[in-house]
Amino acid sequence: MRTRIHGIAGLTLAAGAVCLGGATLSVPTYAASARVLVPTDSAYLKECGACHMAFSPELLPASSWRAVMGRLDDHFGESAKVDASVQRGITDYLVANAADRATNEQSRAIMGSLSTNESPLRITQVPYIAGLHAAVLDPIWNGTPRPKTLTECGVCHIKVQSGDYKSKDFSVNDEAFRWKK
């Protein structure tokens, strides 16, 4: 779902977008508590969401999405081939809404953690995301709940379906690191 914003004259700030003169900009619509765009592209949701969570496009830069979508014959060890026109449409959607084109706090942090021209193929390879989740799978921290992989966002991020990665139900135990007298 996208919202159309029409600029009337001069500079107008609306929904985080700048509209100049009579220009029309299309900006993502965010859920009230969302920090990242909730995916809405029907082909993306159908084709990609059938096998794994349809991740927000704002979690990777455009170059990463191009690379991931460019090798669907070997999509992390599986064939995810789709019709060429469907592949182009999904790629266009992901690139247009990628982290390097977003203005939200999380996407800016993602881009800030990447070096110039870095294009991770996995969201879990983004330094910002990997750093925040370092304790999640490490048994020494005894985290609960315990996802099997970091791609199971909904295990800890209880409002992920609305784009909210801030609300979470996760705790760690630092007992192994306490000084024993």
**Residues 166-175: tens digit of each pLDDT:** 777 766 665 5
Single pTM value for the model: 0.69
Higher-pLDDT residue of 53, 57: 57
Confidence (pLDDT) at 32: 34
Confidence (pLDDT) at 76: 92
Higher-pLDDT residue of 145, 16: 145
Whether 93 contacts 26, CB under 8 Å? no
Q: CA–CA separation, 176 vs 135, rounded Å? A: 13
Rounded to the nearest integer, the mean pLDDT of the chain is 76
- Tens of pLDDT, residues 14-49: 333 333 344 333 444 443 334 788 899 999 999 999
Q: For the chain, how many helices (H) and strands (E)?
A: 6, 4
Task: Assess whether pLDDT exceeds 80 at residue 60.
Answer: yes
